[in-house]
């Protein structure tokens, strides 16, 4: 049985239906695409959580499909910033409480704005990190939006 992370506790306390999928961590490749393959879910259905920083709005989460690339200009439009860049790795854990490969907006240390790519609506269930490497949380996009107060936007190339 997977261990309970803050993300899992948050989902359970909200009474949301979910599924956990465990996978063996590869130190060579723990990309979202590799995780999708390991848990048997299409890459377009597994969403990676990136931390970005806007010049006006500060830090935020950008949640995009594993097989997509963040469009920082589109994210800037969504956030109201002039410019957005990915946060340096050294800032990710202090902001979120999670290490690279296990970042999620669910139960993060600081409540940051969340921008979920519109493509999430194409799926009944999306996979997001459960807050640690080796565990993915499968949840409906509607529940994810409710739990994170996410805004949806077209933020991928």
Q: For 26-43, what is the mean pLDDT?
A: 85
- Encode pLDDT of 4-33 as tens digits: 899 999 999 999 999 999 988 766 776 888
Q: What is the pLDDT of residue 1?
A: 57
Q: Is residue 89 part of a domain?
A: yes
What is the extent of the structural domain holding 94? 6-153
- Encode pLDDT of 121-145 as tens digits: 999 999 999 998 889 999 999 999 9
Q: Is residue 16 part of a domain?
A: yes
Q: Is residue 85 part of a domain?
A: yes
- CATH of residue 95's domain is 3.90.960.10
Percentage helix, strand, coil for the chain under 3-state DSSP, each rounded to 5: 30, 25, 45
Q: Is residue 94 part of a domain?
A: yes
- Encode pLDDT of 55-99 as tens digits: 999 999 999 999 999 999 999 999 999 999 999 999 999 999 998
Q: Is residue 1 part of a domain?
A: no
% of the chain surpassing 90 pLDDT? 83
Total domains present in the chain: 1
Indicate if the alpha-carbon torsion angle 56, 61, 65, 70 is positive or negative. Answer: positive
């Amino acid at each position: 049985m997977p261990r309970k992370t803050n993300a899992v506790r948050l989902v359970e306390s909200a009474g949301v239906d979910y599924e956990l999928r465990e996978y063996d961590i590869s130190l060579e490749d723990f990309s979202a695409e590799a995780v999708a393959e390991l848990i048997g879910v299409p890459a377009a259905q597994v969403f990676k959580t990136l931390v970005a920083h806007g010049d006006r709005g500060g830090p935020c989460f950008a949640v995009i499909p594993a097989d997509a690339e963040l469009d920082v200009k589109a994210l800037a439009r969504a956030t109201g910033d002039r410019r957005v860049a990915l946060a340096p790795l050294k800032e990710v854990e202090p902001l979120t409480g999670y290490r690279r490969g296990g970042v999620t907006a669910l139960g993060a240390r600081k409540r940051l704005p969340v921008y979920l790519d519109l493509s999430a609506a194409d799926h009944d269930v999306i996979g997001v990190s459960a807050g640690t490497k080796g565990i993915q949380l499968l949840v409906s996009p509607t529940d994810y939006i409710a739990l994170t107060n996410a805004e949806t936007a077209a933020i991928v190339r």
